[in-house]
Amino acid sequence: MAIDLVALLGADRIDLDAKDEVIAILRAIDQPATTKRYLYSRWARLVGVHPDKADLDRVAPWSQ
């Protein structure tokens, strides 16, 4: 996958405090749910946390 997270989210959002903003951005992009969940997981690992199932569901519920 060739999506640059810094370009997509902005360098200031590669921070745990920006979690809600990151979720909002990822929810809004025109990508399949699997891609949105993958991007959130990458972001979570970059900021040093494990992706949380509840947050993944906020990013892209499987029902979409």
The pLDDT of residue 3: 87
Token readout for 57 is 């569901």
State which residues form the domain around 31.
5-59
Residue 34 CA to residue 14 CA, distance in Å, equals 20
Q: Is residue 28 domain-resident? A: yes
Evaluate if residue 2 carries a pLDDT over 90.
no
Report how far residue 32's alpha carbon sits from residue 10's, in angstroms, rounded to the nearest whole number. 21
**Residue 24 belongs to some domain of the structure:** yes
Considering the domain boundaries, does residue 53 fall inside one?
Answer: yes
Residue 42 maps to a domain = yes
Model confidence at 24: pLDDT above 90: yes
Q: Is residue 64 part of a domain?
A: no
Q: Is residue 17 part of a domain?
A: yes
pLDDT digits (tens, 9 = 90+) for 26-53: 999 999 999 999 999 999 999 999 999 9
Report d(CA 54, CA 50) in Å as an integer: 12
Measured CA distances, 28 to 25, 49, 50 (Å): 5, 23, 22
Query: What pLDDT score was predicted for residue 1?
Result: 57
* 44 domain residue, yes or no: yes
The number of folded domains in the chain is: 1
